[in-house]
Structure 1
């Protein structure tokens, strides 16, 4: 096991972009596989849906995520601003988490996912499909994101070397990708009762 981790770390160090393209595509596909297996087991498995998830992870998210984490790694306050190394690391980490969660998540990561996945479906009216998915899913997904990711990202930025941070995100994201895939493909019942639409005149759940 230690040997495997050592080889993986060496590969991510030597070929960071390629390794992230491969791992991100695989893990997005794994998330969709779990979503189909656990949340719609009665339906026929949709291999094209999984391939869309793999394509998004490899072609879109991996290169963007790779560069984004390099950018976050460059965010740091001047060394003279701190009395100790621990204070420096802690405040730099807080700043990186804040930028990640207040900039990337709401304005890049979540909109990009729903936009690309809607376009990958090649519907007859792609603009309307993208608009519909963003209107329906952006806010609930963002609130779910903020309920789990800030804590994880703090420890990720604080403890994990730069070249392995996207891998850690992707491993943690297996469950998150499962949620995204389920949310993206939900057709009838909403994920949470609080997300149901209500007829304001009749007060009847739709």
Structure 2
């Protein structure tokens, strides 16, 4: 049998590499995966927007948006989520009374609202806009985005904080966030 035929399939090799990196450098691995998936979410938003346009009005992809989302994912989403899930595990252990509900409430009511403010603030800075633009974005989009966050993320986070193994919670959230960031990127353009 040739060496090429004895290699495991590519997805299995990638998973093994990811698991190794997750063990060796969990924070960096989660930050990098957040960056990649956040950027892909922004690209997905552009692809969806392009598909809705009339034929002949094609516009090239703007790579500055995915770059901003990658920066946000790498510096904020990955690291903050990593530490949040570790802290939540200590704050409300799985065997605590009503742990399933308490964990969800902490995430949805105490973490989600300021995390969304952070998103709008950082994106405002990365776009080079002033404080008045941030204030206007908060006034025009925050409440709608928060309500959508609660609708979309509540069932996801119920599963994530209660049933997904701790080391995979950031990745699980990032996979769902791929579509969430596509949504956020689309409302940032409104």
- Shorter chain as denominator, the TM-score bin is 0.7 to 0.9
Q: Give the alignment partner of residue 29 of structure 2, picking from 1, 15, 19.
A: 19
Is the 1:90–1:158 contact (alpha carbons within 8 Å) kept by the matching residues of 2?
A: no
State how far apart, in whole Å, the 1-side matches of 2:97 and 2:153 are: 17
Matches within 5 A, 1:112-131: 112-123=118-129, 126-131=130-135
Unmatched 5+ stretches in structure 2? 1-10, 52-57
Aligned-pair distance for 1:39? Answer: 1.3
Matches within 5 A, 1:22-33: 22-33=32-43
Give the equivalent residue in structure 2 for 1:43. Answer: 59
Q: Which runs of 4+ in 1 moved over 6 A?
A: none
State how far apart, in whole Å, the 2-side matches of 1:76 and 1:91 are: 9
Give the equivalent residue in structure 1 for 2:111. Answer: 104
State how far apart, in whole Å, the 2-side matches of 1:75 and 1:95 are: 10
Give the equivalent residue in structure 2 for 1:62. Answer: 78
State how far apart, in whole Å, the 1-side matches of 2:70 and 2:152 are: 23
Unmatched 5+ stretches in structure 1? 78-84, 187-206
TM-score (norm 1): 0.78
Aligned-pair distance for 1:61? Answer: 2.2
1:183 aligns with 2:187: yes
Q: Deviations over 1:25-51 (max 9, x none)?
A: 001100000001111453331111111
Report the number of matched residues. Answer: 174
Aligned-pair distance for 1:90? Answer: 8.0
Is the 2:85–2:161 contact (alpha carbons within 8 Å) kept by the matching residues of 1?
A: no
Aligned-pair distance for 1:100? Answer: 0.5
Segment drifting more, 167-176 vs 88-97: 88-97
Give the equivalent residue in structure 2 for 1:197. Answer: none
Gap change, CA 1:39 and 1:19, over 3 Å in 2:
same
State how far apart, in whole Å, the 2-side matches of 1:96 and 1:22 are: 26
Q: Give the alignment partner of residue 171 of structure 2, picking from 141, 144, 167.
A: 167
Structure 2 counterpart SS, 1:74? helix
